[in-house]
Structures are given as C-alpha cells and as structure tokens.
Structure 1
Amino acid sequence: MSSLGQRIREARKQLGMTQAQLAEPDLTKGFISLVETGRARPSLKSLEQIAQRLGKSVSSFLEDGEPAAGRDLAVVLKQGEAALRQRRWSEAVRTFQAAAEVTGDAPPAARAALQVGWGEALLHQGQMRHAQERLTEGLQQAREARAPEETARALRGLGLIELQHGRLPQAIEHLRPAARALEEGRLEARHLHASTLIALGRAYGRAGQQDEALGCVRQALDLLETTANLAALSRAYLDSGIALHANGQRERALVHLQRAVDVLELVESQHLLAGARQHMAVILLERGAIDEALPHLYESLRLRERLGGTASPAATLIELARAHLARRDPARAESYVGEAMIHLKKEDEPATRARAQAVLGLIRRQQGKVAEAIMLLEKAARQLARLDLPLDLAGVYHDLGRIHADRDDQAKAAGAYRRALEALRSADTLGGLGRLSSLP
C-alpha cells in the first residue's frame, strides 16, 4: 500500500520533474521532500497546488490501496480542516458531520481527527456541551491511535472550555500537556502552539501564578515573531488579541488585532480579516468610540457579504445594531437585527441568535416598550445559560438589572445584578466587566 507521499513522488518522477520544480511558485523544495518521505502531511491548499502542478486531481492521491471509507474520509477531513483554519465554523460543523457518515473502517487517527475537528468547530460556535462531548471522545481515540497532534488539539479544546467556565486548575491540567506536546511537534503547528500558550498564560494569570503566565506569553510572542508563515502569524495575532480582550487588556488587544489586520491584508485572507476587524470594533464600542468602530464593522460586513454563503454576516450585523443603539438610533439598529435574523434562519449559530434577542431587547427598551424588553432579555438569558456563555449572560442580567432599577423595582434589580455577578464569578474574570452594557 503506497502512502500519499509515495504517490506524489511517483507522479513527479513520471513527469521528469524535480522537487524544486514541483514546489514552484508557493512551496519549497524542503517541504516537498518532507511530504514525499512522509514526515509532513500537506494541507488541502498545498495538496491542491501539488495536484495542479502534476496535472492530477486531489482525490487521485488519496485512492490507491486505501479502503473507500478511509479515502472519502480523508478528503472530507481536509475540507473540514480548511474551514476551521479560515474560521468558517458553520461550514466546518456541517463538513465534519458529513465525515462522520463515512468513517467506516477508517484508520483510528482519522476518526480521532474527525471528532477533534468537529469539537473545535462546535466550541467556536458556542455549543460548549456538544463540543466537550466530541473533544472528549476525540481525546480518547487520539490517545489510542497515538496521534500526538490530535491529542494536543483535544486537550487544548477541553482546556478552553474549562477556562470559559473559570475552572482554572482543570484548564491548566489540560492546556499544559497540550502546549508541551505541540512544542515537540512539527513546525506547521507553530501557530497552534502559540495560541495554546496564550490560553495557558490566561489560566495561570487568573490563578495568580504571574511568573508562569508571563513565561507563557513571552514564549508565545517568540513563536509569533520567528515564524515565516504569514497565515499562521496572522491567526496567532488574532488569537492573542482575543485572549487579551477576554482578560480585560483592551489596549494591548487592539495592538495585536491591528497587527493581525496588517498581516491579513497581505495574505488576502478575507474570512480572518473580517473577524479581526469585527473584534476590534467590539473593543472600540466598549470604550465608547463609536465613530472609530463603525468603519471596521462596515468593512467586516462588506467582506462577509462578498464571501457569500461561506461567511454569515449575522454576528457583524448584531454589532452594527449595538453601535447604532449606542447612537440612540433604535430604528436603524432594529433594521440590522432584522437582517441578522434572516441569515440566522439558515445558520446553526445559537449563540449569535441569543445575542440578537438581547440586542432586540435593548432596542425595545429605548423605544419605551419595557415589558417586551424584559421578555426578550429573559429569553436571551435562558438561551445563554443553556449555551454556558457566562460573560454574555452577565451582560444580559446587568441590562435587566438596569431596567428593573429604572422601574424602581429594587428587589428584581438586586436579583438581576446578583445573577450578573454570579455569572462573572463563574467565568472567574474581570475582563467581562467591559462587556456589561453602558447603553443609556
């Protein structure tokens, strides 16, 4: 049974092509050598480039000698991994769900990669419970298959879930071995290693272990500055910016996100660029800098609309609604929420749907429809509680507290504020304080 690398080598030899010629224009001779000897596995994009240079289809390199189920799964897994890298979470979930239907007698490592990738996509969608189920199963399969990178990714995902819930010892217990495994792994996982170190640093920092936290951040930054992979560099800057924001460090977060934007404009990654601009806008809105935030949101929306069905603009539309609500323009804010809800009918994004309900509640408050505002915010709170999103939940309860206080219902106001603080404590972070609504 020939391997992927052997099949590429045979096809290259048949054409009388050197490794350097096959690598042109975007790859390197060294990378081709690693692929052919089985020491590296190309990404879907790299495999497409190699196949094009050799005048063959991608599937032709995944056929000879492989069971049909394993062959089909390999193709679908590569598509899912590509969607993950570009942060197309809904597409990734759909792809991994499809892959689950063709596992058959696929190799254990491939089944582990399926569960881990699926879990990562669900995690980014905010579906914490389902993500934990997939990642736990993926971790068990990865360990049985002795697949170090899938093991590290599963540990990282489980660590991020524990961090989200504020369970710091458990988060460190998962993230520390994940970082160690990635440090010993291949060069292509460098951005993932840096992102894991940033998360581990956050966990250490919240646990009061500042020396360990600082060490993780320094190591992550060293990785960021030395990588020659611009795409990996941009993803790591984006991840670090999001992490710094979650830890309440807005100014540093903006610096890292701006660096991500600068690099992403060079590599023309529109999916990631839209996400980076949107997150910058969220931070600027928290600072009250509405005029600075709006250009980022409009550009993010433009990019997502250009990408069409592969990138839902719903989350960006919700942030635009927040911005116009802060300008006391509830009519325009409601129009953006309406557009978002149209997209959400076609997308499985429960967290974004809950946030839309919350913003609609704030719109009703500005319109003087207080009873409807309370109903919508309470509905959003129930959805966010089911999704285990404590920071968003704290913001909704804070808004409910303000509404009840305005109505001079001190008992209900106190109850809502107490729940907001409980949600923040469950996340064990002060970074969420900046997310509490400051809307009039």
Structure 2
Amino acid sequence: MVKRDDPETIGRRVQRLRREQGMTQKQLAEPAYTPAYISTLEAGRVRPSDEALRHIAERLGVAYEELVTGRPAHLATSLRLRLTDAQRTLATGEAEVAAEQYGVLLAEAEAHGLEAEQAAALLGLGECALERGDLETGRRYFERAETSLAGTPLPNRVPALRGRAVAHYLAGELRYACYLLESTLDELNRCGLHDPDALLLLYASAIGPYMDMGAQARAAQAAEFALALAPQVQDPALVARMHRSVARTLLAEGRVAEADASLAKAAELYRQLQLRTELANCHWMRGYLYAQNGELRRAEAELREALAMLAQQRAALYGSQVAVELADVLHRRGRSEEAAELLHGVLGDIGPERGAVHSAAAHRLLGIIAEDARDTETAEEHYVRALSLLERAGAAGDLADLCRLLGDLLRRTGRVEAALDAYRTGLGHRTAPGTTTLGPAPAQPPL
C-alpha cells in the first residue's frame, strides 16, 4: 500500500500541477466533483478519498503514486534496478565507481523518502569503504543504514549490523566485533526469528574474530551451524562466503581435505557470479591452507594470484593482509630479504589503526627475520610492537605464541626475569582455550 503525503502537501501538489497545465478548478472537477470540492482539497482542508485522487490524477495525466507521494511513477523499481547495477560493479572490484553510483542513488532515495532504497545505498557505500580499507567511513555508513532500518524486523537490519562488526574486526577490535555478532545471534534465536540468510551471514562473519581471539571451540561451532544452514539459503554469494569462512576452522581441526573442498565450492560459485574480490579471497584462503600443510610452492602461487587480483581491484586493506601471508611463505622458502621488503610495505600501507592484528603479524615476522639474522635488538623491538597491538586487539591465540617468541629471545640474551614475565603473560592467554570473555555462547538455532 502506498503511503500518502498529508492533505496539505497533496493539495499544494494538485494546485501546482493544475496551474502548470492551465486547467481551471471546474475543468479538473468535471464530471464527478464540484469546483468547491477542488478548492477545499487544494487548501488542504479535506482528506480526499483514493477514488477522488485517482480521478484527479487521471485528469492531470499523472500516475496516482506520483500525485499522492510526489515521486515519479515506478521510481522505487528503477532505483532498485540501479542498486543491482551498483552491486554488480562492486562485485567486479570497481569499488570507487560503485561508490559513485551508490552516492547518486542515496541522494535520490533521500530526496523522495524511499527508506528501504536509502538503506540499501548506505549498505553499498559501507561495503565500498571496507573494500578500499576506509574502516571509519564504512562503519559510519553501516550505522546510518541501521538508523534508516530502525523500524523494521531484526533480520532486515542484520546486514548493517554485520557490516559494522566487520569494520570493527578489521580495525582490530575483536572483542567488540564478537559482542555485536553474538548479541544479534542471541536475539534472533531467542525471539524465534530464524531467518536462514541472516543467521548464515552472522555465523560466517563470527568465524574470523573467534579464530583470532583463540576461541577455536566457538569458531568450530559457528562453522557447523553455518554448514547446516546453507541448504536453506538461496543466495549463492552468501553460501560461497560461508564456505570460505568455514574452511579456516576445518583446517584448524586438521580436516584439510574438507577445508579444500569448501574452498573449491566457494571459488566455483564466485567464478559463476564473477565476484572478483571474493574470488581473490578464495585464492588467499587456499594459499593459507597450503602453507599450513607445508606445500609452500603451491601456497606462494595462490597468494600471488590473490595479491595480483586484489591490487587490480584496489582492495588495499585485504591486499596488505595477503602480503603478510605471502611474506611468511617467502621467509619459509629462504627468501627473507624479499619477505622483509614486502612486510615494510605492508606497515606503510595499513598502519595499526586500520588492522592491528595484521600489523602485529607483520611485526612478528619481521622480528623472526631479524632474529634469524642475529639482530636481537631489532627483533625485540618488533616483538614488543606486535605484543602491544595484539593486547589492544585481544587476539589471545596470537598473543600466546608471540610471548613465547619474546620470552625465548629474552632468555637467550640473559634477561631471565623479563623472559619469565613474557612466558607468564603467554600462559595467561592460554588458560582457557576456546573461550572468550564474552560470557555464554549465543542461543542455538533450531537445526
């Protein structure tokens, strides 16, 4: 049902359209109404019936919807089609072009009071900002989308909530990202709002923060729920994203073949949909899988493919994260100078405020390379910087390993007390594997 403007606004619109067409009130009224009725309507002193407004719209030669809302006929449908075009542009990796398209669409939607289309444009602008690595701008767009959708059911708001959580996650705010995702899941499941698309999006998005926090048990549970929900979801891009996220937990559990199969499914779906950035992320994840399995030559090939695709798409933040993985592989293959050069470039590109976990990974690896070269002073400096970044992000799993590296270095240089402090810090982060400080896990969906 079309939401009509108030009588005064409709009256002024009728008067303006009548005068533009050189009609008198009598001509507009004939044959069903009187000039006095048209005069009262134009003054906003009567609430006209739908029948009267349809008569007037026909006499004026405009669509009923345009008369009662001020919007050109079929504007909402046209905007939705153009939003699809912008989404396709973003999917092929042209984030800057897509952002321009979404900006124009947002202005049109705001001008005509189309709230759903306004929210869709804001979501698109948020995704464009994440693609470019502008996390603060992305977060603001997602918050605006949430506000625009405030009166709608929770499943409708999930993409905006998830976008905001991802922005916090990429900025290194792992605990808060988990809180956003878990509290939304809890509300959906406890209130019986079992929308499979919304649940799948949230569970798949929670896997990365869980793994970085050392909460492998929750990551594995989220992966199992996501796999169980996938057959109920119609959106192939959403299913593909889920398979890419799930592969990481399958690998952590030693299920290498299943992880590889999930990545193959995701990559095939992305190829069919021509989603270039997501396909690049599949190459990235496959490279990670090969590296964990000791297949370094294959890992390097996959990671280089991902890096080239992301550079082409100008996805700077994601590209920097892939570069850290590639540098690790290069170091393990004996090409430490090449790896160090790549890592220094990463630190120049992202900085701690845009990706604390990945900046820390770069410092950690530079520390290992420096230690291999017997430059203990530089190694310690990198380890301490990485430790500070990980403590701020709450990445418990990585913290424990880093404390061991720092403790070993301090012990070898004769600083036994300092080494013990480092080891104790590391042990403190390993006291409760598979947990977070967030309290009980969210309620479970009825699978």
TM-score, normalization: structure 1?
Answer: 0.61
Q: Which of 300, 305, 329 is the equivalent residue of 1:363? A: 329
Aligned pair 1:400/2:363, yes or no? no
Q: Displacement of 1:120 after TM fit?
A: 3.1
Name the counterpart of 2:382. Answer: 416
* Bigger Cα Rg: 2
Q: Which of 76, 79, 90 is the equivalent residue of 2:84? A: 79
Q: Which of 115, 120, 123 is the equivalent residue of 1:117? A: 123
Give per-residue Cα distances to partners, 1:102-152, cap 9 Å, x unaligned.
Answer: 52571466596366314531465343133245457x48xx87x89656999
Which ranges in structure 1 are unaligned for 5 or more consecutive residues? 5-59, 172-195, 203-212
Change (3 A) 1:271 1:431: farther
Change (3 A) 1:311 1:267: farther
Distance in 1, Cα, partners of 2:86 & 2:202: 17
Aligned pair 1:222/2:228, yes or no? no
CA RMSD of aligned residues (A): 4.4
Distance in 1, Cα, partners of 2:149 & 2:265: 44
Name the counterpart of 2:134. Answer: 127
Distance in 2, Cα, partners of 1:280 & 1:152: 20
Q: Displacement of 1:326 after TM fit?
A: 2.9
Tell me the SS of whatever aligns to 2:354.
coil
Distance in 1, Cα, partners of 2:272 & 2:326: 26
Give per-residue Cα distances to partners, 1:1-59, cap 9 Å, x unaligned.
Answer: 9559xxxxxxxxxxxxxxxxxxxxxxxxxxxxxxxxxxxxxxxxxxxxxxxxxxxxxxx
Distance in 2, Cα, partners of 1:417 & 1:63: 64
Distance in 1, Cα, partners of 2:169 & 2:296: 35
Distance in 2, Cα, partners of 1:334 & 1:168: 28
Q: Displacement of 1:346 after TM fit?
A: 3.6
Q: Is the 8 A contact 1:234 1:263 kept in 2?
A: yes
Give per-residue Cα distances to partners, 1:195-243, cap 9 Å, x unaligned.
Answer: x9x63476xxxxxxxxxx8xx77545424xx235332332233244445
Aligned pair 1:199/2:166, yes or no? no
Give per-residue Cα distances to partners, 1:271-295, cap 9 Å, x unaligned.
Answer: 1222222222223444565444322
Name the counterpart of 1:251. Answer: 217
Q: Displacement of 1:361 after TM fit?
A: 1.6
Tell me the SS of whatever aligns to 1:408.
coil
Q: Displacement of 1:418 after TM fit?
A: 1.0
Q: How does 1:10-159 map to 2 (within 5 A)?
A: 65-67=70-72, 71=76, 74-75=79-80, 78-79=83-84, 90=93, 94-102=97-105, 103=107, 106-107=111-112, 110=115, 113=119, 116-122=122-128, 124-125=130-131, 126-132=133-139, 134=141, 138=144, 148=151
Distance in 2, Cα, partners of 1:146 & 1:290: 41
Corresponding residue pairs, total:
336
Which ranges in structure 2 are unaligned for 5 or more consecutive residues? 5-62, 405-447
Q: Is the 8 A contact 1:93 1:118 kept in 2?
A: no
Name the counterpart of 1:260. Answer: 226
Higher relative contact order (CA 8 A, sep 6+): 2
Q: Displacement of 1:374 after TM fit?
A: 0.6
Q: Displacement of 1:336 after TM fit?
A: 1.3
Distance in 2, Cα, partners of 1:403 & 1:310: 33
Paired amino acid for 1:97: E
Q: Which of 185, 189, 199 is the equivalent residue of 1:233? A: 199
Paired amino acid for 2:135: M
Tell me the SS of whatever aligns to 2:343.
helix
Change (3 A) 1:106 1:322: same
